A and B are shown apart, each in its own frame.
Chain A
Amino acid sequence: MAKTQLPDAILVNRYIDGDENSLAILVERHQSKIYGYIYSKVSDRDLTEDIFQETFFKVIHTLKSKKYYNEEGKFLSWVLRIANNLIVDKFRNDKKMLMKRDTDEFSVFSSLTDNAPNIEKELIKNQVDIDLKKIIQKLPHDQKEVLMMRYYSDMSFKEIADITGVSVNTTLGRMRYAITNLRKVIEKNQIYLPS
């Protein structure tokens, strides 16, 4: 695999082991997102450069001293957290918050996203939940029981097997039949369930 395609976790480990080029790849890979994130908060090019630089100084220091950082494939979010802390420190020192404005050069919406479902999606989801529960009620009791415990009570198959007094294999079989029957009912009645 080409070095530039290696995942962050491997590059971080290589960097900790002394491979300076790995850091260059990580910086190249994430510079736009990190820089854009900082700029979205401070709206000042020079300040963004300073904070970007300081963020990576902290990253380098932390990685080289082999402390704090626990890699779980989340290098970018870790760096963004450091950047965010530096921004907060900066505003705390200045005791003021800048107001962000949309300009031709920068759109606040290019870096800010709202992942929360909107009202329409919420309504559709509620309707789907209601429809699904109605279909589940039509399943045979043993299959319905397994499905409800697995998806609505978040229980493991082992726990379900213990409670229902059957083997794990039987539980898995019931679950499979439940899913198959659900699909049949959905297809037969041409019910639309958006994912």
Chain B
Amino acid sequence: MAKLYSKRKLAPKKMLPKKETIRLILQYSCALNIVKVGNMSFDTIAN
């Protein structure tokens, strides 16, 4: 009977993003360059 009421939950796993996502974010950061000219700013993304 106890089993019915005491279903043991799995400990919540640490949730992490995919490695590709992290890699993409870091690559985007390296590639992005923002240049300010007066009041305007220009974004350039290096290939």
Residues of A at the B interface (CB closer than 8 Å) are 20, 23-24, 27, 31-32, 35-36, 39, 48-49, 52-53, 56-57, 60-61, 64-65, 104-107, 110
Set of chain A residues within 8 Å of B32, measured between Cβ atoms: 60-61, 64
Residues of B at the A interface (CB closer than 8 Å) are 9-10, 12-18, 21-22, 24-26, 28-30, 32-34, 36, 41, 43
Q: From DSSP, what is the main secondary structure of chain B's interface residues?
A: mixed
Q: CA of A20 to CA of B27 in the docked complex: distance in angstroms?
A: 10
A32 touches B34 (CB 8 A): no
Across the interface, B15 reaches (CB within 8 A) one of A23, A53, A104, A106, namely: A106
Set of chain B residues within 8 Å of A32, measured between Cβ atoms: 14-16
A20 touches B17 (CB 8 A): no
Q: From DSSP, what is the main secondary structure of chain A's interface residues?
A: helix
A61 touches B34 (CB 8 A): yes
Do A60 and B28 contact each other (CB < 8 Å), given the known contacts A27-B22, A106-B12? yes
Set of chain A residues within 8 Å of B36, measured between Cβ atoms: 65
Q: Taking CB as reference atom, which chain B residue is nearest A108? A: B12
Do A53 and B21 contact each other (CB < 8 Å), given the known contacts A23-B26, A24-B26, A107-B9? yes
A56 touches B13 (CB 8 A): no
Set of chain B residues within 8 Å of A56, measured between Cβ atoms: 25, 28
Set of chain B residues within 8 Å of A61, measured between Cβ atoms: 32, 34, 43
Q: CA of A105 to CA of B11 in the docked complex: distance in angstroms?
A: 8
Q: CA of A106 to CA of B12 in the docked complex: distance in angstroms?
A: 6
Q: CA of A46 to CA of B41 in the docked complex: distance in angstroms?
A: 32
Set of chain B residues within 8 Å of A110, measured between Cβ atoms: 12
B17 touches A104 (CB 8 A): no
Other A-B pairs, 8, CB within 8 Å; known A27-B22, A27-B25: A20-B30, A31-B16, A31-B17, A48-B17, A49-B17, A52-B21, A60-B32, A64-B34
